[in-house]
Amino acid sequence: MNAASDTSPDLKREMLRHTLATLAYRGAKTIEGAPASFGAFSASETTRTPLEILKHLGDLFDWALSLCRGEHVWPDSAQGSWEEEAARFFNTLQQFDAYLASDAPLGFPVEKIFQGPIADALTHVGQLALLRRMAGAPVRGENYFKAEIAAGRVGTKQSNVRVEFD
């Protein structure tokens, strides 16, 4: 494969799809099994709660989908419960991934879509993992390089094959 083909729009879209699958994998590991009280955990008075972060993740992917359609619309959705926001997060990932998997044109460059909502979401999933540890319910560390992550797998059903650290 030559360098020119590595930057084709289809390969860029596939990289975004793999990034979404990575977010879904890490997000599922961080969201599922959280204690009932975790959504309201407050690390400080100026830090978002995990529930607020999860709601923001849903907003990010609603925004990402609007960007794909050539719009720049920030949704400010009402906050639901932990379960509702978790379902919304995976639903918005699935809608965004389906758009990327289609032949529909992107309204903004792939790089802009990555540097906005996707990069922000990577940060926030990491924050949720950190907050889980601070709340006394840590997520087991894992060698994510060895994880079975595949473009298109963006729902709650993720691979059970894990290489977690002891």
Burial (0-12, 13-18, 19+ Cβ within 10 Å), 87: middle
Which listed CATH number (3.40.50.2300, 1.10.580.10, 1.20.120.450, 3.40.50.970) goes with 15-146? 1.20.120.450
Amino acid 163: pLDDT? 79
* Angle at the Cα of 60 from the Cα atoms of 140 and 115, rounded to 5 degrees: 85
pLDDT in tens, 12-37: 999 999 999 999 999 999 999 999 99
* Angle at the Cα of 92 from the Cα atoms of 107 and 66, rounded to 5 degrees: 20
Amino acid 115: pLDDT? 97
Q: What is the DSSP letter of 103?
A: S
Q: Which residues in the chain show pLDDT less than 70?
A: 1-9
Amino acid 4: pLDDT? 45
Q: Cβ(137)–Cβ(38) under 8 Å? A: yes
